[in-house]
Structure formats: C-alpha cells, structure tokens
Chains A and B, each alone.
Chain A
Amino acid sequence: MKNFLIRLVWRVFSGILMVLVIASLTFFLIRLMPGDPVSAQYNQLIMQGMTPVQAENQVKVMYGFIPDEPVGEQFVNYIWGLLHFDFGQSISYEGIGVSHIILTAAPWTLILVFTGLIASFLVGVLAGVISAIKRSSPTGTVLTVSGSLLHGVPQFVMGLLLAYLFTTLWPILPFGAPYDSSIDPGFNGPFISSLISHAVLPVVTYALSSYGGWLLTMKSSVITVLGDDFILASEIRGLKSSTIIGYIARNAILPLFTLFTLSIGFMFGGSVFIENIFDYPGLGNLLLKSIDTRDYPLMSGAFLLITIAVIAANIITDFLYTFVDPRIRR
C-alpha cells in the first residue's frame, strides 16, 4: 500500500511535469505558424470589403488588449498563469477567459464523443468476439466485412453520407446545430428531445466510423487467445461453454483496455470533422476556429486540455491495469 502511494505520487508529479513541458512546446509551436491574430483579423476584414485603413483602425480597436511584450516575457507570464490555473483570455472572443470558453464547449463534445465511443466499443467488442468464434461461418464473415468496410470509410465521408441519407433523401432527422434554435434551452421535454434528435447523426457517425476498429482489434485478439493452450485445456476439463467464452473474452479484452482508456483521453480533442459537418459547438470546432483566427491563448488552452486528458488517462490506465491483469501486479 505504501509502495502504491509512492508510485501514485511519483506518477502524478511526473505527469504534471510532462504537461508543463508539452505546454511550453505548444506555446512556441503555435507561434511558429505563419500569420498572427491581428493579421488574420485584418485579412478577414479586407475580405469583407473594408479599405485597408478602415480595417487597420477596426483591428486596433478590437484587439487593443493583445499583449505586445517580447515572446520570452509572454512565455514566462503564460507558464506563471498556468501554475495559478489562469489560462489567459481569448483573442477572437474578445477577452473572454479561455477556461470559460472551453468549459462551455466541453459538454457538447462529451455528449457526442462519449456516447459514440461507448456505443461503438460495446457493439464492436461484442461483434469482434462473435466474428472470431464463428469465423468460418457466414455470420462471422459478414461481421468481419462490415468491420473492414466501416473502418475504411473516413469520418467526413461517413458524416456527409449519413447527412445526405437522413436529412435530404429521407428527411427524418435535423441537420446542423446542436438543438432547434426556436426552442428555449432548459430542462424541458421539447428541448431534450430536440437535443437528442440533433445528436443522433453525429453520434452515429462517430460510432460507425470507430466500430470497425474495435471489431477488428477484438477479433484478432480473440483469435490469439483461442489458440492458447488453456482454452483447449478448459474444453477438455469439461467447463461450460459460457465459462470458456468468459475466459476468452476477459483475456482478449486486455489489449483493448489500454486503447479504450486512451480514446477517453483523446476524446477531449473533440471530433473535428464530425463537429464541423454537423455544426456542433464542441471542442473540435473550437480548436478549428482558434486555429483559423490564430487565437493563441485559445489554441494553447485546447491543446493543453488534450494533453492533460491523455496524460491523465495514461496514468489512470497504468493503475487500473494492475487490477485488470494480475501479471502486472508487483
């Protein structure tokens, strides 16, 4: 137990260190991109038809608050802010706190990606077990082919295809926006049902495009376990087939466990393509928008969230793994 605590403290400490290192790298990396927030806005105003002089004045008014001290000093301030949980202010949202913007966007992404992830994982793993056990029957073949096909279709193609099918060809589902703007947001029936019907397409798109990966990984993992001696041994000892399938599934799911928890971490990156197609105000869209406008603080914030989530997921996985697999315990 004492060892466990020491290990935990050490892992958390090194995790925080890692987050800081990555945050520093991101800080400089995003500033290496061509352009800057002011010129991005300037170009946009020009494109909207303003004269250069008008645009320059407008930008000066809008973005007067942008710090213009040297990059080194900005960096020190940024890190110092981070250590006080201050993530800075957005540029494109004109001074609104980055953490506020991200916290507003996060629930949308979590609804979308988490539901899709759980659904695709459960269905994919189950289908993987079946396709492995029945791999020489038509059922198995059909499942495997479905997995390979869906795995091969990129998210944006899948999203556009589903959108075309269910909003244009058979217009049974709404397209775009997270809910019907004519309904007042709140905890009431029409709003919730509008939320759900708007979420169906993006969630299904996410689930379908990750289902194949789970299926194929689980299938190959199950086939590996099926060849293990202890499965034959269990059969010859006359164990019930339900027990044996339990043995197989538990052993086969171990490699997927890591993938799954890491996916939970990467979930905080949002799903850029899907959110973009369905105009979902999640983290993916936010990230895309912040890159478009060269909104440095917001970009840093979005990347930082992904960093923290993935590193935390890693640490949690490491510790959970010792419960799932006795061979890892020390």
Chain B
Amino acid sequence: MSDTSTVNTENTFKDQEQKMAISARNINVVYATPTGDIPAVRNVDIDLPKGSITGIIGESGSGKSTLIMAIMNAVTKPGKITSGSVLLNGENDMLKLSSEKQRKIRGKEIGFVFQAAQNSLNPLRRIGQQILDLGRAHEVNDLRKLINYAKKLLIRLGLDADRVLASYQHELSGGMRQRVGIMFSLVLNANIVFLDESTTALDMLSQASVLEIIRELQREKNLTIAFVSHDIGVIADLSERIEIFYAGEIVEEGKTSEVLACPKHPYTKGLIKAIPKISGDIDAAEPLKGSSPDYRTFKQKGCLFYDRCPIRTDSCRDSRPELNITNRDHKVACFRVGANDRD
C-alpha cells in the first residue's frame, strides 16, 4: 500500500469523524458482583451522525441504557468502564477529560431525558429555581434569557409555562413532568440529546404527542438524537438509523427502513416476527424462543444468541461472529447471513 493511499484513508476517516456528533469505539462496561465482573457492554462501536435520530433497541437488561451512560462517562457503581473512547464532535474524548470538563459537557452539550423523568426533579425546589441552578452550574450569564427560553420550550411542549415554572414536581402530572424533563435537556441548547425510554411510562396518546414534538424540535435545531427503547414500533416511527442490541453487543445496525424491511440477524428477524399485527390472526405473532440472556450466557465462547438461534450451526458455538458489512452501512454479526430460517 502506497503512502498516498494511507493519507487518503486517514483523511476520509477524519472527515467521517467530523460528521459524527458522537463516535464511540470499543466500549466495554462491566458490573462488579461478588461472583466476579459481569460484562454489560462489550466491544461496542457506535456512531451518531450529526443531525440524525438513531434508535437503540434491545430487551431489558441488554445493556442499552448502560451504553448511553458510558457515552457520557456516567456509569454508576458497581458499573465500571474498562476500555473505550468516546469522541464528541470528533474532538474531546469524554472518557479522558477531567471531571470538571465532563460536568460542563453534560447538560450543556449533551442533554439527557430519563426513563424515570417523572422523578428527575428535586421535590423541594420549584421548577424555575431548578432551571436557575442549571444555568448557574453552566455559567449562563443572562439567567432571565434562560428562563424566557425555558418558557418558550414549555409552551412548545404544550404546557402552561408560568404555572409550571412556579410549580413543585408533585404539582405536575406524569406527562407534564416528562415534558419538563425534555425541556431541561434542551434549555441549554444541547446539540446531542439522549432519550432513555423516555416515553415508556406514558400512555399511547401522550407518547405520540411527545414523540411528535421531539421530531419537530430535532428538525428545527438539527439535533443529534439517540433514542433507547424496547418498543420497536416507536423506533421504526422515529429513527433514521437503528442499532439492535443483544446481551451487551450490537448484532445488527443500519438504516431503519432497510434493517426492518430485510433483517439479516436471526434475533432481529425474531423481534419483528414477535410483533402482533393490527389485523389478521393474533397467533401469527411468534414469540422469541428461549429465555433472555443471563450471567451464564456471557461465558459462552461462541455466538451469544446460539441458545435461541433457529439457524445455528456448530461453528456458531465455537467462535463469535463480528459485526460485518453486508450492504453499504448495513452491518450484521452473524455467520449465517443469508441463510433461511429452519434450514
């Protein structure tokens, strides 16, 4: 390989990084338990292109929330990030910055909406006071402007802004608190927003309206959004790209339309088959076979999905497949790509 081509590939790599709001490489997170470390996220590479919505889907306990926390370097004990790098806008590595710099990035550049956003506010302070606390923490000079912006966002989210700012958390309903949580993630003009099952606790109608607002704001401000959910319908509706998470690893990723239209990994296929159709026979929906991965699964040498896989072969038991490109940016981690079910 000649020198020029090396330079070229380096350049294209750099270009690509410039387009990425988040570029995480080789993330490993373990949870320390008395019986040893249990891996929660393993060798995960993930890119969030600027101005896109990425859906991260996986079953409970698959490590999807842990991954998001790892990207912000906010994994809580007993969890521990053992390796990896997270480039923010192609520059700062979140995992190497001083804790003060990390603090300034959290909230200001990366907004986060919680799974339990209903409980994400201090019960003893009014919402307005908490916005001021946030502003002071991030050295906002014009606090009045901040409050005005917060009001604007709250009105956009369909709330009575003045009332909400003067309220305590317990004076708001669950849906209102969720919206207040979204406001908190955006009020400092963060460009990157993580939503961790943020609409799971809402009923279908509130969920739909909140999702609609998120989509609007995303278009308007060209936000980069990562949306974590176990609801494949919500992800299909909202996201451009999708990451399928299984037992702490990404097993398939690509454009949402492409992955859902022609899934390659048997787990993805299984997930899609398991969705009941709105018309037709309810029994046409097939649940995934087997049980969710547990602590024994991680000790397997081979493919983590081996136990539940309908198209496994002996080689799947002995070595683990890596994420490989099948079609442009559609990647799958399976030796049996292209093989049909129940061969």
Bitwise interface map of A from 315 to 330 toward B, beta carbon under 8 Å scored 1, else 0: 0000000000111000
Q: Which of A230, A238, A251, A326 contacts B120 (CB 8 A)?
A: A230
Q: Which of B76, B112, B181, B184 has the most chain A CB atoms closer than 10 A to its own CB?
A: B112
Instruction: Determine if A229 and B120 form an interchain contact, defined as CB atoms under 8 angstroms apart.
Output: yes
Q: Which of B104, B116, B122 contacts A234 (CB 8 A)?
A: B122
Instruction: Determine if B106 and A236 form an interchain contact, defined as CB atoms under 8 angstroms apart.
Output: yes
List residues of chain B with CB within 8 A of the CB of A234.
122
Give min CB distance, B18 to chain A, whole Å.
Answer: 25
Instruction: Determine if B137 and A327 form an interchain contact, defined as CB atoms under 8 angstroms apart.
Output: no
Whose C-beta in chain B lies nearest to the C-beta of A241?
B103
Total residues of chain B contacting the partner, CB 8 A: 29
The answer for the CA separation of A238 and B107 in the assembled complex, in Å, is: 5
Instruction: Determine if A233 and B134 form an interchain contact, defined as CB atoms under 8 angstroms apart.
Output: no
Chain A, 231-273, CB within 8 A of any chain B CB? 232-240, 243, 247, 250-251
Instruction: Determine if B116 and A238 form an interchain contact, defined as CB atoms under 8 angstroms apart.
Output: no
The answer for the CA separation of A234 and B106 in the assembled complex, in Å, is: 10
Instruction: Determine if B137 and A239 form an interchain contact, defined as CB atoms under 8 angstroms apart.
Output: yes
The answer for the CA separation of A228 and B116 in the assembled complex, in Å, is: 10
Instruction: Determine if A237 and B122 form an interchain contact, defined as CB atoms under 8 angstroms apart.
Output: no
Give min CB distance, A324 to chain B, whole Å.
Answer: 8
Interface residue B301 (Cβ < 8 Å from any Cβ of A): no
Instruction: Determine if B121 and A230 form an interchain contact, defined as CB atoms under 8 angstroms apart.
Output: yes
Give min CB distance, A225 to chain B, whole Å.
Answer: 10
Total residues of chain A contacting the partner, CB 8 A: 19
Whose C-beta in chain B lies nearest to the C-beta of A251?
B124
List residues of chain A with CB within 8 A of the CB of B133.
239, 243
The answer for the CA separation of A251 and B106 in the assembled complex, in Å, is: 23
In the complex, the number of residue pairs spanning A and B with C-beta atoms less than 8 Å apart equals: 70
Give min CB distance, B12 to chain A, whole Å.
Answer: 34
Q: Which of A230, A243, A250, A325 contacts B119 (CB 8 A)?
A: A230
Instruction: Determine if B137 and A250 form an interchain contact, defined as CB atoms under 8 angstroms apart.
Output: no
List residues of chain A with CB within 8 A of the CB of B116.
229
Instruction: Determine if A327 and B107 form an interchain contact, defined as CB atoms under 8 angstroms apart.
Output: no
Chain B, 120-136, CB within 8 A of any chain A CB? 120-125, 133-134, 136
Give min CB distance, A65 to chain B, whole Å.
Answer: 58
The answer for the CA separation of A238 and B138 in the assembled complex, in Å, is: 8
Interface residue B70 (Cβ < 8 Å from any Cβ of A): no
The answer for the CA separation of A251 and B107 in the assembled complex, in Å, is: 22
The answer for the CA separation of A235 and B102 in the assembled complex, in Å, is: 10
Bitwise interface map of A from 202 to 242 toward B, beta carbon under 8 Å scored 1, else 0: 00000000000000000000000000111011111111100
Interface residue B238 (Cβ < 8 Å from any Cβ of A): no
| A237-B107, A238-B108, A239-B107 known; A232 vs B76 contact (CB < 8 Å) | yes
The answer for the CA separation of A71 and B105 in the assembled complex, in Å, is: 78
Instruction: Determine if A236 and B107 form an interchain contact, defined as CB atoms under 8 angstroms apart.
Output: yes
Bitwise interface map of B from 43 to 72 toward A, beta carbon under 8 Å scored 1, else 0: 000000000000000000000000000001
List residues of chain B with CB within 8 A of the CB of A232.
74, 76, 114
Instruction: Determine if A238 and B103 form an interchain contact, defined as CB atoms under 8 angstroms apart.
Output: yes
The answer for the CA separation of A54 and B122 in the assembled complex, in Å, is: 75
Whose C-beta in chain A lies nearest to the C-beta of B103?
A238
Whose C-beta in chain B lies nearest to the C-beta of A250?
B124
List residues of chain B with CB within 8 A of the CB of A240.
103, 136-137
List residues of chain A with CB within 8 A of the CB of B163.
none
Bitwise interface map of A from 279 to 302 toward B, beta carbon under 8 Å scored 1, else 0: 000000000000000000000000
List residues of chain A with CB within 8 A of the CB of B104.
238
The answer for the CA separation of A243 and B124 in the assembled complex, in Å, is: 13
Give min CB distance, A246 to chain B, whole Å.
Answer: 9
Instruction: Determine if A238 and B114 form an interchain contact, defined as CB atoms under 8 angstroms apart.
Output: no
Q: Which of B121, B137, B168 contacts A238 (CB 8 A)?
A: B137
Give min CB distance, A230 to chain B, whole Å.
Answer: 5
Whose C-beta in chain A lies nearest to the C-beta of B170?
A327
List residues of chain B with CB within 8 A of the CB of A250.
124
| A232-B76, A243-B137, A327-B168 known; A237 vs B123 contact (CB < 8 Å) | no
Q: Which of B103, B105, B117, B124 contacts A325 (CB 8 A)?
A: B124
Instruction: Determine if A327 and B123 form an interchain contact, defined as CB atoms under 8 angstroms apart.
Output: yes
The answer for the CA separation of A235 and B119 in the assembled complex, in Å, is: 14
The answer for the CA separation of A251 and B125 in the assembled complex, in Å, is: 10
Instruction: Determine if A237 and B170 form an interchain contact, defined as CB atoms under 8 angstroms apart.
Output: no
| A235-B74, A238-B104, A243-B133 known; A228 vs B184 contact (CB < 8 Å) | no
Instruction: Determine if A251 and B105 form an interchain contact, defined as CB atoms under 8 angstroms apart.
Output: no
| A228-B119, A229-B116, A229-B119 known; A237 vs B134 contact (CB < 8 Å) | yes
Whose C-beta in chain B lies nearest to the C-beta of A233?
B120
The answer for the CA separation of A69 and B134 in the assembled complex, in Å, is: 73
Instruction: Determine if A237 and B112 form an interchain contact, defined as CB atoms under 8 angstroms apart.
Output: yes
Whose C-beta in chain B lies nearest to the C-beta of A136?
B77
Q: List 7 A–B pairs whose Cβ atoms lie within 8 Å, in order of A's numbering.
A: A230-B123, A233-B117, A235-B106, A237-B184, A238-B105, A239-B134, A251-B122
User: A interface vs B, CB < 8 Å?
Assistant: 228-230, 232-240, 243, 247, 250-251, 325-327
Name 10 extra pairs, CB < 8 A, besides A247-B124, A325-B124: A229-B116, A232-B74, A232-B76, A233-B120, A235-B74, A237-B107, A238-B105, A238-B134, A240-B103, A326-B123
Closest 4 CB pairs of A and B: A238-B107, A233-B120, A238-B106, A229-B119
